[in-house]
Amino acid sequence: MKISTAISPAAIRPQTPVAETFVPDTECGRPRPQQFPEGKELWWFQRGLVRERCCARGRAHSAPAASRAAQSCPSSPVPRNREEGFTMIEIAICLAIIGVALVGIIGVLPYGMNTQRDNREETVIGQDANVLVELIRNGARGADDLTNYVYAITNYQVLYPTNLTAPVPNGPLGWDSTTLTSGAKIIGLLSTPEFVDIQYHITNNIFSGGYSNHIVAYIRSMSGLAAEKPPQNNQIMRDDTFSYRLFILNAPLAQDTNYNDQAYNRQLAASYHDLRLQFTWPVLPNRKVGGGGPQNFRTAVAGQVEHQYVNNSDLYFYRPQSFSTSP
């Protein structure tokens, strides 16, 4: 026997969704839908994007649905507002980490600044040394711009008597900015030989009497900031300009005392010289020198040295194109 069951098309037609109406929840204070799909009610928070599902608590909106909800899931706690943020402990830990990092950075910062300052000062010294060496080597007489930078020169001179007695200090001899009125005078003083005889002529020894000369000059930097350069009449700016002390030595060429040809030694000593410059810095307003340097430069200068006596000063100039012949 064959049994057939007819299903009405209306039975399989999808049901029209039921409009949900929200009723206030006295426990939560939030709206909730009246329909309970599969025993669970859907909660929408009025503020925020968080959605939660919680079990029905047996309210009598629909007895079958409430009974199924009570059997399928337990009751859930009442949802509370959630606010995200940092606690005071977290903020304190972050501040402690930042504080430790800042202490390290502040501790290293002075070393970096001092290194930058030292590099800048050494660069200025190197540039000024090249200028001074070329001026002295060529016996320059027209470098009058040096009067803006060289503000003091001192010659620590010592007299060695002819009778080989104890040396006698003959100075120091000094010139300041009021007497350093030309570039020729400045170069002539900086080129003073280490040894001169009693008549102030250049010599390679003082066994027969003479003078030893040690020249010290105080110079404002010729390189560096443009605000420090002339025409700068502000005395405060001039005093704060980076300055250095220059110890300059024009030594005769070392001789081989075992060589019998004394004429050749005299000729070589008169035509070849050892120029040495030592820089220390910075010069403070009280003429004391800070902890920079010393930085040394050394070069050989070929040519005779010409002696002139001008305005009560013994001046010397290198003549790189002139050489002496043996007598």
pLDDT of 271 higher than 80:
yes
The model's confidence at residue 77, banded by pLDDT at 50, 70 and 90, is low
pLDDT confidence of residue 79: 55
HSE-CB for 78 with a 13 A CA cutoff: 7
Q: What average pLDDT score do residues 145-157 get?
A: 95
pLDDT of 301 higher than 80:
yes
Helix (H) or strand (E) holding 23: strand 22-24
Phi first, then psi, for residue 16 (nearest 5°) are -70, 125
Q: Which residue has the tokens 């350069």?
A: 229
pLDDT confidence of residue 181: 94
HSE-CB for 229 with a 13 A CA cutoff: 7
pLDDT confidence of residue 93: 95
pLDDT confidence of residue 82: 63
* Secondary structure (DSSP) of 132-189: HHHHHHTT-S--GGGGGTEEEEEE--EEE-TT----EE---EEEETTT--SHHHHHHH
List, for residues 85-108, the tens digit of each pLDDT value. Answer: 889 999 999 999 999 999 988 888
Distance from chain centroid for Cα 224: 14
Max mean pLDDT among 14-23, 56-65, 209-218 falls in: 209-218
pLDDT confidence of residue 260: 57
pLDDT confidence of residue 186: 97
Q: Choose among 188, 186, 191, 184: nearest CA to 176.
A: 186
The answer to whether the CB of 277 falls within 8 A of the CB of 296 is: yes
Tokens for 297, please give them: 């430069």
Residue 146 CA to residue 175 CA, distance in Å, equals 14
Question: How large a percentage of the chain has pLDDT more than 70?
Answer: 71
Tokens for 230, please give them: 């002339």
- Predicted model pTM: 0.68
pLDDT confidence of residue 203: 84
Phi first, then psi, for residue 109 (nearest 5°) are -55, -45
Q: Which residue has the tokens 């060496």?
A: 133
pLDDT of 62 higher than 50:
no
pLDDT confidence of residue 259: 63
Summarize the chain as % helix, strand, coil (round to 5): 30, 30, 40
pLDDT of 279 higher than 50:
yes
pLDDT confidence of residue 324: 63
Between 210-219, 259-268, 284-293, the lowest mean confidence (pLDDT) is in: 259-268
Q: Which residue has the tokens 């608590």?
A: 57
pLDDT confidence of residue 139: 93
pLDDT of 317 higher than 80:
yes
pLDDT confidence of residue 81: 59
pLDDT of 129 higher than 80:
yes
List, for residues 23-59, the tens digit of each pLDDT value. Answer: 454 444 455 554 544 444 444 444 443 444 444 444 4
Q: What residue spans define the domains of the chain?
A: 17-72, 118-319
Residue 70 CA to residue 114 CA, distance in Å, equals 78
pLDDT confidence of residue 154: 96
List, for residues 238-260, the tens digit of each pLDDT value. Answer: 888 899 999 999 998 777 666 65
pLDDT confidence of residue 315: 96
Residue 35 CA to residue 33 CA, distance in Å, equals 5
List, for residues 175-227, the tens digit of each pLDDT value. Answer: 999 999 999 999 999 999 999 999 998 888 788 889 999 999 999 999 988 88
Other beta carbons less than 10 A from residue 133's beta carbon: 17
